[in-house]
Structure 1
Amino acid sequence: MSTIHPAPAQFFAFGGDNARGYSTHGDVLVNKTADGIDLNVIWDEANQVMSAWNKKRTALAALISYPTIAVGDAIPQTIGGDHFEEASEFGEPQSIATAPDALIVGYTFKDYDLATRATWKFLRSATAEQVYDLINRAMESDNRLITGTLLRRLFDPAPVLNEVGQTAYGLYTGTDGITPPSFAGQDFPSSTSHYLVSGNTALDPGDLTDAINQVTSKGFGIDGSSRLIVLCNPKEAEVISTFRAGAITNGVESKYDFIPSNSSIPYLTSETVVGQIAPAEWSGLEVSGSYGPAWVVPSYFLPQGYIAVVATGGPNSGVNPVAFRQHANSAYQGLRMIPGKDQRYPLQDSFFQRSFGTGVRYRGAACIVQVKASGAYTAPSWNWR
């Protein structure tokens, strides 16, 4: 999504001596870095990087989210559900209607900004690399902001209201009066929650199987349009890698074997793998292996002591569980780099601005497990934004 900015030359020209209000180069206080790079060139290249950055959000965020400009949506909470019936000679066929199990889900929206400031003497003495570093740090902060906000929405069951009074939900909680709709002849109790507690101080195969079953029983991750992935910290991924079919962990027998992906280091085994081995990488993320129908995707962005089983359709897919809401006006979408109060010297005073919000669209498309011995589920405390 492109951002409209004035031409770079406009940012450095000033004065009122000529017809267009532009001055000559002799009026510029500082126009090059210490290693001879024109500041106009840096600003122009930075804007090009912004454009590329807006087209490629982080791989992790894209796998769990779907971009939208809607304030909220009426989202069916199951996939499929319509059926043909045997035709009669004189009867009228049953028609497909708007899904009765659709839930009105809202999406929040907030504005965020960050500034870079430098004196003209710093710009005169700095190398181009030092100036680019300020821009790179701003983009890294944007990365953490988006990924962290989307993950917090997935891991936090607490609902919030958006600016028009619609509720932005987490996954099913079993406490808000909303019961998952029936699927494939299965009815679910009103206490159904997709935020589980392991009941042990260590992760076991039963926790993983329970989370997978919670998602697939609602109709997600069971066909070619989506895939089950286990998002977890590398610490939990290491535990999962020890699960073997028939082996007992915390008194629970494992139903599946963990099978290392193509990225694993070479090793010897007398066993034969039946079926497809998970790839080393998928959609830009490392895959450590598979457990049953799910691929295990470790990331240090994920909190320790939690796992998330997510049905994803791939980057930015419409079946992904979390909405990534942006402004309806495309000029306010994406990460924007804006010159500050003195537009003659944008690198001396620049603003980075991002506007977006979140909300869970499909409340049954993911399940979170917190690893702890007892008590109710509590959302993780994130130490990064």
Structure 2
Amino acid sequence: MTTTQPESFHSLGTRARLMDLFASGSDGARGYSTEGDVLVSQTADQIDLNTIWAEAQTVMGAWNRERTALASLISYSTTNVGDALPQTIGGDHFEVASEFGEPTGLRAEPDALILGYDFQDYDLASRMTWKFLRSASAEQVRSVINRALESDVRLTTGTLLRRLFNPVEGANEHMHRVFGLWNGADGMTPPSHAGQTFPAQTSHYLVSGNTALDPGDLVDGMNQVRSKGFGTTPGSRLLVLCHPNEADVISSFQAGKVTNGVESKHDFVPSASAPAYLTPENIVGQIAPAEFGGLEVSGSYGPAWIVPSYYLPQGYIAVVATGGPNSSSNPVAFRQHPSVAYQGLRTIAGRDQRYPLQDSFFQRSFGCGVRYRGAACIVQVKASGAYTAPTWSWT
């Protein structure tokens, strides 16, 4: 597919002068001026199409600076096709100095794992003809742009979440292995951490063993992540990402209360965003904030903050160690093209450069892969059987 780069803002004045020239018929002898050219200079409510195109370019710039909050909390932007990263935190030690001996030197991490990130090009056409632009209002034209932005959210966020929730391994164009979390089925064993060793069948894709969520499911997920060293260091935060239905269940957990035969070790404590409520208990310690990284926090359970989102599938919870939006310690890589010109969501003008909104399209190039295989754990709520990845109705 042949594409044309978006016109720069500096050329808008030149294009306007060309429109005046064609509208006046000065160049009609050469057959370039048509009725359609004159009619699509503005919308039905007298808004200049060049103004809407400039607005679209401005919106795209802001959109690329503020990727969706959910995606940025679990991902880290990179232009690398892959990375060699140790899959545990720490591991080096000082030793007692001697008068004549040489100290042990730091060296490249021998347990680093080569992780690949896939990459694809995506596009979506607006398909606005000159007749539509002639009759449409500015709001109708802007609605097409808004739909493209919403589609971009579903594409990027959905792709990152599917990678996090799916244990199936892939490969990129350089045949680097593209991993999910530890799954116990690919012949790889998590490295030891803090004196702990892990069996070869260690998996971060768990099944609850019950038809309803219980406190043990949260504890199991948190223990899997924290035992690998994630979510325990300064600047790292443990989150439980879940659908609001699961968040409602979690809000009923109380220390000492039994749910599905499992006694809760912690109390759910509402966050600062919770409505006013009465309680006979005293809250000791700091409550969770109203929001984190642009997302609502409904409360806390033990060391984790509960973050509900309708983007998450029902019947699953994801315990994730995050360093914050776009932190290098986040579990998933968001791979972009090395050239800045091909990064983010782009608007590309249509065939007629004088009227870029006509038959223009939107384009995104990116890929992903898990960076830290122990930095998250997924729990599926079902009575028995092996873990199965969710199906996504909104992606």
Q: CA deviation at 1:24?
A: 9.3
Q: Which residue of 1 aligns with 2:350?
A: 340
Distance 2:45 2:274 in 1: 44
1:321 aligns with 2:331: yes
Answering whether residue 213 of structure 2 is matched by residue 211 of structure 1, we say: no
Alignment of 1:192-203 (within 5 A): 192-203=202-213
The yes-or-no answer on 1:168 pairing with 2:159 is: no
Task: Give the CA deviation at 1:126.
Answer: 1.4
What is the one-letter code of the residue matched to 1:303? P
Specify the SS of the correspondent of 1:349.
coil
**Deviations 1:193-252 (Å, cap 9, x if unpaired)?**
000000000010001000000000000000212100000000000000011111111111
In the TM superposition, what are the counterparts of 1:107-126 in structure 2 within 5 Å?
107-126=117-136
Residue type of the alignment partner of 2:114 = I
| Equivalent residue for 2:380, pick from 370, 376, 380 | 370
For residue 8 of structure 1, the aligned residue among 6, 12, 30 is: 12
The CA deviation string for residues 163-182 of structure 1, in whole angstroms up to 9 with x for no partner, is: 00001100000111111011
1:89 matches 2:93:
no
Q: CA deviation at 1:9?
A: 4.7
Alpha-carbon displacement from aligned partner over 1:117-169 (angstroms, at most 9, x marks no partner)? 12222212211111100001001100110000000000000010100000110
Pick closer, same or farther for the CA change 1:252–1:133 going to 2, 3 Å. same
Cα deviation code 1:252-304 (max 9, x no counterpart): 11111000001111111110001110011111100000000000000000000
- Aligned match of 2:233: 223
Q: Is the 8 A contact 1:278 1:289 kept in 2?
A: yes
Bigger shift: residues 165-174 or 116-125: 116-125
- Distance in 2 separating the partners of 1:235 and 1:32: 47
Query: What code does the residue aligned with 2:356 have?
Result: P
Distance 2:124 2:15 in 1: 20
Distance 1:96 1:169 in 2: 28
SS, match of residue 39 in structure 2? coil
Q: Find the aligned partners of 1:318 and 1:204 in 2 and give their Cα distance.
A: 32
TM-score (norm 2): 0.93
Q: Which stretch of structure 1 is more off in the superposition, 192-201 or 263-272?
A: 263-272
SS state at 2:210 partner: coil
Whether the 8 Å CA contact 1:72–1:166 is kept in 2: the answer is yes
Offset at residue 81 of structure 1 (A) = 1.6
Report the Cα distance in structure 2 between the residues aligned to 1:9 and 1:306, rounded to whole angstroms.
54
What is the rounded CA distance, in whole Å, between the counterparts of 1:149 and 1:66 in structure 2? 14
AA aligned to 1:89 is E
Number of aligned positions between the proteins: 380
3-state SS of paired residue (2:318):
strand
Q: Does 1:309 align with 2:309?
A: no
- Tell me which residue corresponds to 1:289: 299
Q: Which residue of 2 aligns with 1:235?
A: 245
Aligned to 2:40: 30
Structure 2: distance between partners of 1:5 and 1:279: 44
What is the CA–CA distance in structure 1 between the aligned matches of 2:108 and 2:256, rounded to whole Å? Answer: 45
Task: Please give the alpha-carbon distance, in whole angstroms, between the structure 2 residues aligned to 1:5 and 1:125.
Answer: 24
Q: Which moved more, 1:82-91 or 1:156-165?
A: 82-91
Instruction: Give, in whole Å, the separation in 2 of the partners of 1:107 and 1:335.
Output: 19
Provide the C-alpha distance between the structure 1 equivalents of 2:229 and 2:38, rounded to a whole number of angstroms. Answer: 63
How many Å separate the matches in 2 of 1:172 and 1:11? 55
- Asked if the contact 1:10–1:344 (Cα under 8 Å) also holds between the matched residues in 2, the reply is no
**In structure 2, how many angstroms separate the alpha carbons of the residues matched to 1:11 and 1:151?**
42
Contact 2:272/2:288 (8 A) holds in 1: yes
Shift of 1:99: 1.1
CA–CA separation in structure 2 for the residues paired with 1:325 and 1:173: 23
CA displacement at 1:8 relative to structure 2: 3.5
Question: Structure 2: which amino acid aligns with 1:249?
Answer: T
Give the 3 Å change call, closer, same or farther, for CA 11–351 of structure 1 in structure 2.
Answer: farther
Could you tell me how far 1:345 is from its partner in structure 2?
2.0
Q: What residue in structure 2 maps to residue 131 of structure 1?
A: 141
**Distance in 2, Cα, partners of 1:44 & 1:24:** 24
The whole-number CA distance in structure 1 between the counterparts of 2:211 and 2:43 is: 56
Q: Is the Cα–Cα contact under 8 Å of residues 189 and 198 in structure 2 kept in the other structure? A: yes
Match status 1:148 vs 2:158: yes
Gaps of 5+ in 1: none
> Please, what TM-score do these two structures have when normalized by structure 1?
0.95
Asked whether the 8 Å contact 1:220–1:365 carries over to 2, the reply is: yes
Where does structure 2 lack aligned partners over 5 or more consecutive residues? none
2:393 pairs with 1:383: yes
Q: What secondary structure sits across from 1:34 in the alignment?
A: coil
Contact (CA 8 Å) 2:73, 2:324: kept in 1 or not? yes
Alignment match, 1:44: 54
Tell me how far apart the structure 1 counterparts of residues 307 and 363 of structure 2 sit (CA, whole Å). Answer: 31
Q: Work out the CA distance in 1 between the residues paired with 2:176 and 2:151.
A: 29
Aligned to 1:55: 65
Which amino acid is 1:8 matched to? L
- Gap change, CA 1:11 and 1:354, over 3 Å in 2: farther
- One-letter identity of the residue aligned with 1:198: S
